[in-house]
Amino acid sequence: MLQFRSGSCFISVFATLIIPRMAHGNTTIEVQRYLQELGGDAPSEPIVRALLERSAARLHTLCTSMLFRRYPRLMRHPLNLQSEELLSAIVERLLKAMRSVHPENPRQFFALANRHMRWELNDLARRLDQQAQVLGLHENAAPSPETSGSTLGSDAIRMLDAIENLPQEEGEVFELIRIQGITQSEAAELLQVSVKTVQRRLNRGLLILSEQLGDLRPLDEEQS
């Protein structure tokens, strides 16, 4: 039977205690601040732990998105993987990885997290396939138990994919302003560009999303 590594006490309480407290706020700005501190003389592990705590809500969203969109079979019997379990495994991976790897900005940090998510999920998928071969099981041999968590519909998956596939500059600005909720002037300061540049990138991103997701507009809006 596949099992997750238990990890430290920090790992075990991560999903239940940290995520609710960190559900809101300017994650990107705070992540940048912690990454800058990693370049100083202070011990790195406490900073990395604080960084992971502060970014927990975003990491949980990424785990949920990748699990639902690309690895749904891992959520079914016999593994029944949940996004909180995946998050704990990713936190453990990042704690180890960032002893030697120090991302310079939030984009590099979340790219590192995404890479470890793929590695973890691919490893679990391989182990599940090996177990099925040994036991002579098939994926649909047993009914999938109902889960208590919510699932992403096809429209939500389309929107996540469209946002994820925005060009780098447009996606970065869209994430900062529309997802993280910071102001245009704060985004401009963080990205070291002018406010007008931020506005142009945001407008281009919105135009791309409008073209790709225009059919998802409410009916009354289309008729107005």
- Is residue 86 very low, low, confident or very high in pLDDT (cuts 50, 70, 90)? very high
Residue 15 has pLDDT above 60, yes or no: no
Can you say how many angstroms the Cα of residue 105 is from the centroid of all Cα atoms in its chain? 16
Pair 52, 95: CB distance under 8 Å: yes
pLDDT in tens, 122-175: 889 888 887 777 665 444 544 444 433 444 567 777 887 788 789 989 988 987
* Nearest one of 72, 81, 60 to 157, comparing CA atoms: 72
pLDDT in tens, 102-118: 898 887 898 899 889 98
Pair 57, 67: CB distance under 8 Å: no
d(CA 22, CA 24): 6
pLDDT in tens, 40-69: 777 788 999 999 999 998 899 888 888 887
CB atoms within 10 A of CB 170: 20
